[in-house]
Structure 1
Amino acid sequence: MKNIHFISMLLIGLFYSCSSSDSSENIKKGNQTILTSDGVKLAVKVSGTGPACIYVHGGPGQDYLSFEKMGGSNLEKCLTMVYLDQRGSGHSQNAKDYSLERVIKDIEEVRLKLGLKKVYILSHSFGGVLAVNYAQKYPENLSGLILANSTAHFMDAKALQTQIEFGYRLLKKDTVIKENNLDALINQMLIIRKKLSANHLGYKFIADNVNTIIKVDSIESSYKRTSDFGT
């Protein structure tokens, strides 16, 4: 969630014109529920004016509310923001199918049911995996891709090496990780996370300031929600 205010200003500068010629002009605003083709109810909120932008949150199993409340709503000045809780997340319904293909299809079905021709996709954290794969499958429906502190690979050897090395740097130890075995890397990640937690630095994997984590947790615990996708 770090750098969210910078990202907000950057995107507002990018989309300096609030006029829109696409189908977002007539989109229904407010909270609504969209039923997927496999019968899952997705919670969606539409706010703002301008080109349509679907926000794809992290986790898996997080929600859109913390992003909206901590700076995302600033984007509504020049974008029609479509906040989406993924299946098994936030206000959305739990499901049996959490496959990558199915969750990407959810994003596409939201676009279709809202009557949008093209959309920007704005992702955070794990949402980057979904955003990149959506862009690969539906490039003709994309106005642009915005990756805000996102990851493109959920369980990838190179990504884990980088994260473990970052963890050691937080502990003031420059360490080069050459291990390529995924299981071994996962074990090393668990070890470094325990060391960071023991030094009260575990939050650094997510934010620069621990107060950011406290605020996120406060927002996400303020209502009855699900994180089934994550578990």
Structure 2
Amino acid sequence: MTDMQVQRHAPIREQVANILRDAIVDQRLTPGQLLVERELCEMTSASRASVREALRQLQAEGLVESHNGRGTSVTVISTATARHVYQVRSSLEGLAARLFAEHASDQDRAAFRAAVTELAEETAKGADAAALLKAKSRAYDVLFRGCGNPVLHQTVQTLQHRVTRLRALTLAQEGRAERSADEVTAIADAVDARDGEAAQAAAMTHVEEAARVMLAAAEGPPSH
């Protein structure tokens, strides 16, 4: 667990929260798992006080839940919650893509295209889920920061950790990573054309496809 231990030069509470958040996203800490403070202290080389502070932060983000004195566990994302998150994502990301296509600076457009190209290259070489998630997050960070609406950006940030968990689950489905990269490339093509309507449609299609894959996986294979 040495690669997960706290770096002593970083703010401890924040670093512990980052470590645990990453472990939840990539499912080293699995949905529904009871989180034992002693084990988390060993995992992060942090004190119980720092771990408790980090857990409170993660609870506020919706990643863990407390059970009235009976411990804390990783939040399970229900099918209904996933559907609700995707509905909100579709609207917000569609609007962000439209605004970005219509108003972004040339510098931001170039940065978005570079990030999308990096995502496509990482996907083509079969990079692992962690690398794909980071590449995709970089692309979306450029999009949201450059869309010209700080309220939209702030609103998206409140969903970001749950969105990342869902992305990790969908990218694990066969063929999804390649299709996802193609869908994000379509957004970049519309941005380059300064076509706000097409960018919005491409962004919403991307989210709707992710939702379809996620919900189909949650329901399991059809019975015969």
Q: Which structure dedicates a bigger proportion of its chain to strand?
A: 1
Q: Which structure dedicates a bigger proportion of its chain to helix?
A: 2
TM-score, normalised relative to structure 2 = 0.29
TM-score, normalised relative to structure 1 = 0.28
